Amino acid sequence: MKKKIIRRELKEIASIDHSLHPILQRIYQARGITSVTELDHALEKLLPYHNLLGIEKAVQYLVAALSHQKKMLIVGDFDADGATSTAVAIRALKSFGAQHIHYLVPNRFAFGYGLTPELVAVAIKEFNPDVIITVDNGIANHAGVIAAKENNITVIITDHHLPAETLPPADVIVNPNQHGDFFPSKNMAGVGVIFYVMLALRRHLTETQWFSVNNIPEPNMSKLLDIVALGTVADVVPLDYNNRIMVHQGLRRIRAGQCIPGIKALFAIANRDHRKIVASDLGFIVAPRLNAAGRLDDMSLGIECLLCDDHAKARAMATTLNQLNDERRIIEQDMQESAMTVLEKFKPNQQKTLPHGVCLFDETWHQGVIGIVAARIKDRLHRPVIAFARAANDVEIKGSARSIPGFHIRDALASIATQHPQMIEKFGGHAMAAGLTLKREYFEKFSEIFNAVVSQKIREEDLSHKLMTDGELASNELSLEIAEKLREAGPWGQAFPEPLFDGVFTIIDQRLVGSKHLKMLLSKEGKTIDAIAFNVDLNQWPNYRCHDVNVAYRMDINEYRGKRSLQMIVEYMESKDNS
């Protein structure tokens, strides 16, 4: 799909640090940085927890549970955010002296998402908890909370997903997105929310001399930030200032080798040096391997990897997770090819054109991989996509939705659920991603309604694939020094994107490597640069008739046999020749 390159607008920085390189000044301006204070990632700059609605009450319940050594159960989710949230809760509470603390993560194939009544029944049978603490879920689980309360279980919900009009009757809810909450950052992942709850609890325990009275070393909460950083990046939440601080501090710990054995093992199994990682490595290297457990098997393996303090055992678990991820890749590739075959019938200028909102369903698709497939197809088509797979009961189908800027997918599902109350069994999510369940018989009708809702609410200009860049670099700025400055200037991520530049280059050489990646030697004003474009369209590239090419690219550092050199990662390219 042809993309439109648009250069970012610059905003004035109130207090420019003139020691900053001009390119960094330009990049920060384009990301809305208004003061150099927003570039200070010190821990003391974290927002205080006091404005989080319900956090003091949650602390009261947790103090009571610790004081009486009540049986506490963490109910997590089967993705990386849920796994890291569970690990943070378990590690923190154990360091506070909890003796009866366990976790339970629903198997996505048997129970589905969150605290369901069925999961509560399992929890009672296996653990008989006095307190249930949800992490990265719970805000939409009314029936599950009711089932727990009917069995005299205290329920503490910690979540970050958008709430419905009514809240479940938990004893307390901590969620920055609930009505009446004045916490300034609404973008925390589930792992950030439970980290904040643990921060507040540690503060209370310190002030009441809990640790000294019980002869417990006072825990250093910064030791959890490697896990918090992983969950935050993996869940693709916007990296606002508060999230950037947590991610930056977590990356520092990982690079210094002060991370948990599980994270170090997951990097090692991927042949990546943890000392040189950036934020995107958490999202593209560690998170997929961690997520593979929840997608294909049981997320308990991923959580155990994050809880393990034995390096050998962590390496063994990382090996299994890596094998699961390899299996996931094969399944995903087959599903993508199947999806694209279906979409071939939607051709411009023919009877059927591509819907504004795309719904896909295949009998053979794996329920654990549909989220990735929806994301991949969304990236190709640049429009909202929902991929469905069969549920275990063969009566329902489960969908995973991914959206584009300008279309709030969770609100769209809420609108459909209101207008067609019998259609959607359940749903939840946020602006860019959501999940839902509906009866199989409603798929065709739902597809029509979804397309109509997208058509009504989205603008045509939103459907054009835009690449926002930071403009052009001069030939003397194409250097290893600049690449290193950009690498260190993050953390980059969602809503605070890694710098992307554009420009016209001459192709000196081009060849395929690894069957589908295009390795190039590009030239600009007499300067040559190595470049690579991953997963190119083999119908278009290599193109030996192409002389000049317009590219959108990222600056990267290639390390080979101890030598570091500049490399351009090409995100998009199009021929500038008339031929």
What phi and psi, each to the nearest 5 degrees, are found at residue 96?
A: -85, -5
Domains and CATH numbers, the chain: 44-323 (3.90.1640.30), 345-463 (3.10.310.30), 471-575 (2.40.50.460)
**Is residue 348 classed as helix, strand or coil in its secondary structure?**
coil
- At 157-186, the pLDDT tens digits run 999 998 988 999 999 999 999 999 999 999
Percent of the residues in the chain that have a pLDDT greater than 70, as a whole number: 96
Q: In whole angstroms, what is the distance from residue 359 CA to residue 365 CA?
A: 14
Q: In whole angstroms, what is the distance from residue 57 CA to residue 53 CA?
A: 9
pLDDT of residue 36: 85
Q: How confident is the model at residue 579 (pLDDT cuts 50, 70, 90)?
A: very low
Q: In whole angstroms, what is the distance from residue 267 CA to residue 287 CA?
A: 10
The pTM assigned to this predicted structure is 0.91
Percent of the residues in the chain that have a pLDDT greater than 90, as a whole number: 76
Question: Which of 288, 197, 304 lies closest to 234 in space, CA to CA?
Answer: 288
pLDDT of residue 267: 97
pLDDT of residue 78: 85
Question: Which of 132, 88, 118 lies closest to 227 in space, CA to CA?
Answer: 88
Residues with Cβ within 8 Å of 56's Cβ and at least 6 positions away in sequence, in order, are 50, 200
- Taking all residues of the chain, what is their mean pLDDT, rounded to a whole number? 92
Q: Are 71 and 210 in contact (CB under 8 A)?
A: no
- At 77-111, the pLDDT tens digits run 889 999 999 999 999 999 999 999 999 998 776 67
The arrangement of strands across the sheet holding 424-429 comes to 358-361, 385-390, 396-402, 433-439, 424-429
CA distances (Å), 404 to each of 161, 168, 341, 408, 466, in order? 18, 29, 22, 8, 11
Q: In whole angstroms, what is the distance from residue 372 CA to residue 369 CA?
A: 6
Burial bucket for residue 217 (CB in 10 Å: 0-12, 13-18, 19+) = exposed
> What number of other Cβ atoms are within 10 A of residue 173's Cβ?
24
Q: Which of 61-70, 108-117, 493-502, 553-562 has the lowest mean pLDDT?
A: 108-117
Question: Which of 424, 412, 402 lies closest to 454 in space, CA to CA?
Answer: 412
- At 299-353, the pLDDT tens digits run 999 999 999 999 999 999 999 999 999 999 899 889 888 888 877 766 544 445 7
CA distances (Å), 349 to each of 346, 352, 386, 486, in order? 9, 8, 24, 44
Predicted confidence (pLDDT) at residue 358 exceeds the cutoff of 80: yes
Predicted confidence (pLDDT) at residue 18 exceeds the cutoff of 70: no
Please give the average per-residue pLDDT across 536-561, as a whole number.
92
